[in-house]
Structure 1
Amino acid sequence: MAPHDDRSDVAEEAMVAEAEKRPIATIVIIIAMQTEALPLVNRFQLTEDLDSVFPRGVPWVRYHGIYKDLHISIIWPGKDLVLGVDNVGTVSASLVTYASIQALQPDLVINAGTAGGFKAKGACVGDVVLATDVAFHDRRIPIPVFDQYGIGLRKACSAPNLLKELNLKIGALSTGDSLDMSPHDESSILANGATVKDMEGAAVAYVADLLKVPVIFIKAVTDIVDGEKPTAEEFLQNLAAVTAALDQSVTKVVDFINGKCISEL
């Protein structure tokens, strides 16, 4: 094995620091469901990329265009080629995040979408939460050090000025590949201190961290996980209205970002 070169670490840190001082020019927004994506596609007047930057045969969809001073791409993982449902979950999220960063070299990634919220943490249906940190709750590996790897705790991009300007709620985000919550998941979510839970965020965070791209998480609450209504029923009942709230909040975030560099967020 070749010896580790500390000079490469220093050069990488210098590149990241320099990037933080440049105005943000290119944003990639990762959204899991078409219902969540289309209002923003229309809001930013984006067009579908018919000459795809992605490998042939994958169902992933890119909408792109220029909004104010920003090049914006909304990436939706598309629909399952056999079952025709949205490609939700961590596998699709990590793949499209990796492919999007490689192809588009964004200055910032935004993972936007709906999520379940916890009333014990003050969440209500319709709340929009800016995640402070993200972790997995369904990767249980009870071996020293591997247990922390499974949790995969990562910080979101620090954005104190954005938070102050838009008056969003903040909280931790916990990610797993199931819509419901098993007792094991509940225990892990409580340990993560999560205000909201989703099916993509920590996977996006892992890839963004790997490739050294800052990432922001914007999650709108469709259902109360520790409430009394069945999760699936409440999610479907509130999806349209909450997607509208998500659309408004993401637009405000993008408007705030326009003309700023990462260090000004």
Structure 2
Amino acid sequence: MAPLGNKSEAYEEAMVSVTEKRPISTVVIIIAMQAEALPVVNKFQLTEEPNSLFPEGVPWIRYHGTYKDLYINLIWPGKDSVLGVDSIGTISASLVTYASIQALHPDLIINAGTAGGFKAKGASIGDVFIASDCAFHDRRIPIPVFDLYGVGMRKAFETINLVQELHLKVGKLSTGDSLDMTPHDESSITANDASVKDMEGAAVAYVADLLKVPTIFIKAVTDIVDGAKPTAEEFLQNLASVTAVLDQAVEQVIDFINGKCLSEL
């Protein structure tokens, strides 16, 4: 008789194989900002759910609906209850990712949003990147092995066919809880070999990896981090136009996913 551990491992591998060959059904889209989320909500004619699946008191908003053969859930972390601004950053992203997986059991997660890009890595305003890897750049722990934990590198779900079909750029994503970039952050981002930086992706990747849910990261460039303009100014200047680009990219990805298995992506 095979040891229990081996049997369990073989069972898990068999379940993964079955999942990868079954058409994708339930998709969760996680978007940090209302300005980024609402165009997608309107595009797929999603409805806000008044009876939340989430704990009482949290500001998280769920929109849902059926599009072609997919059941789409869009989760927006909502507004901060004290300051009234979007609940951006890694804490909200990790919490809503965990809660969404527990409540909705998605076949696939899509983390979509705007991001800063690096001209040194070929990024321009309005470019859309699919992240190949996600890592943190502001968790500095200068102790052996803990330093690697701080970086927290995770591979995104590989989508070779999707990238080729939609002609999207591919690059590594670096995540931190600050919009600006300190010299320490810049050094870490360079070490992460990142093409784009955001404030949520690696947190989503950590939770999704922990709970074994395939995740795609779609990031549209609003500002050039290593450019001449101040980041905040350029971000606000381009947010509306780049959000429209992001909206289109999400639609193309959803259309590509429809009717396919994970192994076909």
TM-score by length of 2: 0.98
* Structure 2 residue matching 1:11: 3-state secondary structure: helix
| Distance (Å, rounded) in 2 between the aligned partners of 1:235 and 1:139 | 24
Q: Show CA shifts across 1:85-138 (max 9, x none).
A: 000000000000000000000000000000000000010000000111110000
Q: The residue matched to 1:132 in structure 2 has which SS?
A: strand
Does 2:48 correspond to 1:41? Answer: no
Report 1:156-195 matches (<5 A): 156-195=156-195
Separation of aligned partners in 1, 2:224 and 2:200: 18
Q: Which residue of 2 aligns with 1:264?
A: 264
Q: Please name the residue that 1:60 is paired with.
A: 60
Amino acid at match of 1:221: V
For residue 218 of structure 2, give the secondary structure of its aligned residue in structure 1. strand
- Separation in structure 2 between the aligned mates of residue 130 and residue 255 of structure 1, nearest angstrom: 16
Distance 2:93 2:132 in 1: 19
Corresponding residue pairs, total: 263
Worse-matched range after superposition: 7-16 or 51-60: 7-16
Distance 2:93 2:8 in 1: 29
Matched position secondary structure for 2:140:
coil
How far is the alpha carbon of 1:233 from its aligned partner? Answer: 0.4
Q: How far apart, in 1, do the equivalents of 2:250 and 2:184 lie?
A: 32
CA contact (8 A) 1:112 1:219 kept: yes
Where does structure 1 lack aligned partners over 5 or more consecutive residues? Answer: none
Aligned to 2:10, the other structure's residue is in SS state helix
Of stretches 6-15 and 142-151 in structure 1, the one that deviates more from structure 2 is 6-15
Give, in angstroms, the shift of residue 12 of structure 1.
2.0
- Aligned residue in 2 for 1:73: 73
Kindly indicate whether residue 132 of structure 2 is the aligned counterpart of residue 124 of structure 1. no
Superposed, 1:172-251 pairs within 5 Å as 172-251=172-251
Aligned to 1:30: 30
Task: Write the deviation string for residues 142-174 of structure 1: whole angstroms up to 9, x where unpaired.
Answer: 111111111111111110000010000110000
Displacement, 1:4?
A: 8.8
AA aligned opposite 1:224: I
Deviations 1:190-220 (A, max 9, x none): 0000000000000000000000000000000
Contact 1:16 1:212 in 2 (8 A): no
Other structure's SS at 1:75 match: strand
Q: Distance in 1 between matches of 2:51 and 2:175?
A: 32
Report the residue type matching 1:114 in the other structure. T
How far residue 9 of structure 1 moved from its aligned partner, in angstroms, is 2.7
Residue identity in the other structure for 1:99: A
Q: Pairwise mapping of residues 93-172 of structure 1 onto structure 2 (< 5 A)?
A: 93-172=93-172
Percent same amino acid among aligned pairs?
76
Deviation at residue 11 of structure 1 after TM alignment: 2.0
Q: 1:8 Cα deviation (Å)?
A: 2.6
Provide the TM-score with structure 1 as the length reference.
0.98
